[in-house]
Amino acid sequence: MYALNLDKDNRILSACNVLSIGTYEGMPIVDTLPEGDITDYKYIDGVYVYEPLPKADDNSARIAELKQMLADTDYIVIKIAEGVATWDEYPGIKEQRQAWREEINKLEQTSTTE
């Protein structure tokens, strides 16, 4: 179960796991959370309402962030290339890095065409 921390307009600010020692006065208790970024939702009368906030149009910041994440995981690729580790030891990383590269390519194409 989860406790929702709501803003004044019922937007979800965060959610926490319900712990036995916690007190969650005024916080809705739910069984499931919405998919994706939960802050894109409001919680109104027991229902999740999808209302994402407008994102700043800043492809360069996002591209830089993705490159940072790729750089942060380069050491894994190096270890595997040197034969001291395998992809099995880092489940999901290969697919995640591919997703980051694809997003970079997509954003760079968008920036070029604008």
45 dihedral zone (left: phi>0; alpha: psi -120 to 50; beta) = left
Least spacing, CB of residue 52 vs another protein, in Å: 10
Dihedrals phi, psi of 50, to nearest 5 degrees: -80, 115
Binding to another protein by residue 17, rule CB under 8 A? yes
Please give the structure tokens belonging to residue 109. Answer: 């194409």
Q: Structure tokens of 41?
A: 């939702």
Interatomic CA distance for residues 5 and 104, integer angstroms: 33
Using CB under 8 A, which of the segments 43-51, 79-87, 88-96, 106-114 binds another protein?
Answer: 88-96
Compute the distance between CA of residue 84 and CA of residue 94 in angstroms, rounded to an integer: 16
> In the complex with another protein, which residue's Cβ is closer, 24 or 103?
24
The binder of another protein chosen from 10, 77, 85, 90 (CB under 8 A): 90
Residues 36-75 that bind another protein (CB under 8 A): 36-39, 56, 58, 60-61, 64-65, 67-69, 71-73
Q: Are 110 and 58 in contact (CB under 8 A)?
A: no
Q: Which residues bind another protein (CB under 8 A)?
A: 2, 5, 7, 13-17, 19, 21-27, 33, 36-39, 56, 58, 60-61, 64-65, 67-69, 71-73, 90, 92-93, 96
